């Protein structure tokens, strides 16, 4: 209980975010720890037998053979972003599969995109490096401060995005259930989306259908960390689409990303 008191105090200092706490508590109560671990093992196994590497996935979806690292293509932007994050002094979460995001945004020639979950803003940067090539494009990112984070960390959300790209970007700093309806009202039709926020089954199954409905035919749906539970698998079945599963090595071991192309 003692370890949970600072987290509770953080939420009390952010009363607008208390509904997120209630959703988190409900999600924890709905499944026992044993149930969650069993679901994760099943999800990992489902992902592992289907997964391909990023380059293979991009080729499968787009037909493109040559994939370069964004660090190489946009070396100045990435060097600046690395310095910016280092200078912030904050340990920020990673930004997903950046090459996948960029090349798929290029493939659909995205003008309108929504992502959930920002952190330092690496995925936002990957999106914006593509969208900024097309005048009038807009990325809407929804995010909330990581529970328990410091005020400095809260102010560092999206710090990897340079000022030169911010005219193509709108950040809504609210939990999914408050931010996503706003984002979808602003962009009722989108070319591509990236889900990387509430990883619970309930959170995913609330947001996935809303993003899918807004996605135009031929648009692309990306979800990170699909090995946490079976929500992505079950959603793929519900929309009757065969997913592409991508594996990548991260700091916590092998992680999996799912992609669906809307018919």
pLDDT, tens only, 90-121: 666 666 899 999 999 999 999 999 999 998 89
Tokens of 135: 């005048």
Average pLDDT over the chain reads 89
Q: How far apart are CA 219 and CA 105, in angstroms?
A: 9
Q: How far apart are CA 201 and CA 183, in angstroms?
A: 21
Query: Percent of the chain scored above 90 by pLDDT?
Result: 69
Of 57 and 23, the one with more pLDDT: 57
Find the helix packing angle between 98-107 and 122-131, rounded to 10°. 20
In this prediction, residues 24-44 reach a mean pLDDT of: 79
Residue linked to tokens 């070396």: 75
Radius of gyration of the chain (CA): 18
Q: Is the pLDDT of residue 150 over 60?
A: no
pLDDT at 145: 65
Of 23 and 261, the one with more pLDDT: 261
Residue 148, helix vs strand vs coil: coil
Of 186 and 148, the one with more pLDDT: 186
In this prediction, residues 119-137 reach a mean pLDDT of: 96
Residue 171, helix vs strand vs coil: strand
In this prediction, residues 22-32 reach a mean pLDDT of: 68
Contact 259, 229 (CB under 8 A): no
Q: What is the CATH number of the domain that holds 210?
A: 3.40.50.150
Q: How far apart are CA 250 and CA 178, in angstroms?
A: 30
Q: Which of 69, 66, 90 is nearest to 78 (CA)?
A: 69
The DSSP code sequence of 53-104 is: -HHHHHHHHH-------HHHHTHHHHHHHHHHHHHHT--------HHHHHHH
With bands split at pLDDT 50, 70 and 90, how would you rate the model's confidence at 148? Answer: low
* Beta bridge partner(s), residue 115: 141, 194
Q: Is the pLDDT of residue 259 over 80?
A: yes
Q: Which domain holds residue 244?
A: 2-261
The DSSP code sequence of 124-156 is: HHHHHHHHTTSTT-EEEEEE-PPTT--HHHHHT
Tokens of 48: 């592992």
Residue 109, helix vs strand vs coil: coil
φ/ψ of residue 92, rounded to 5: -110, 150
Tokens of 233: 């698998």
CA diameter of the chain? 54
In this prediction, residues 145-157 reach a mean pLDDT of: 60
In this prediction, residues 38-47 reach a mean pLDDT of: 95
pLDDT, tens only, 195-244: 999 999 999 999 999 999 999 999 999 999 999 999 999 999 999 999 99
pLDDT at 92: 63
Indicate the number of domains in the chain. Answer: 1
pLDDT at 54: 97
φ/ψ of residue 203, rounded to 5: -60, -45
Contact 144, 173 (CB under 8 A): yes
């Amino acid at each position: 209980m003692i370890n949970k008191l600072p987290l509770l105090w953080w939420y009390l200092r952010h009363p607008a975010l208390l509904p997120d706490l209630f959703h988190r508590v409900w999600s924890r109560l709905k499944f026992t720890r044993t149930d969650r671990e069993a679901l994760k093992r099943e999800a990992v196994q489902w992902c592992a037998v289907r997964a391909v590497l990023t380059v293979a996935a991009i080729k499968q979806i787009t037909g493109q053979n040559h994939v370069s690292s964004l660090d190489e293509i946009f070396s100045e932007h990435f060097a600046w972003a690395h310095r910016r994050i280092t200078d912030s002094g904050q340990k920020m979460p990673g930004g997903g599969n950046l090459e996948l995001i960029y090349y798929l945004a290029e493939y659909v020639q995205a003008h309108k995109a929504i992502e959930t979950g920002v952190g330092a803003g690496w995925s936002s940067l990957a999106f914006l490096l593509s969208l900024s090539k097309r005048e009038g494009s807009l990325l809407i990112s929804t995010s909330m401060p990581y529970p328990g984070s410091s005020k400095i960390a809260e102010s560092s959300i999206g710090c990897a995005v340079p000022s030169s790209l911010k005219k193509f970007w709108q950040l809504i700093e609210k939990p999914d259930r408050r931010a996503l309806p706003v984002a979808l009202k602003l962009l009722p039709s989108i070319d591509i989306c990236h889900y990387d926020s509430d990883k619970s089954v309930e959170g995913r199954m609330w947001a996935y259908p809303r993003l899918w409905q807004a996605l135009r035919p031929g648009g692309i749906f990306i979800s990170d960390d699909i090995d946490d539970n079976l929500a992505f698998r079950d959603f793929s079945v519900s929309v009757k689409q065969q997913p592409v599963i991508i594996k990548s090595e991260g700091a916590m071991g092998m992680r999996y990303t799912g992609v669906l192309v809307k018919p």
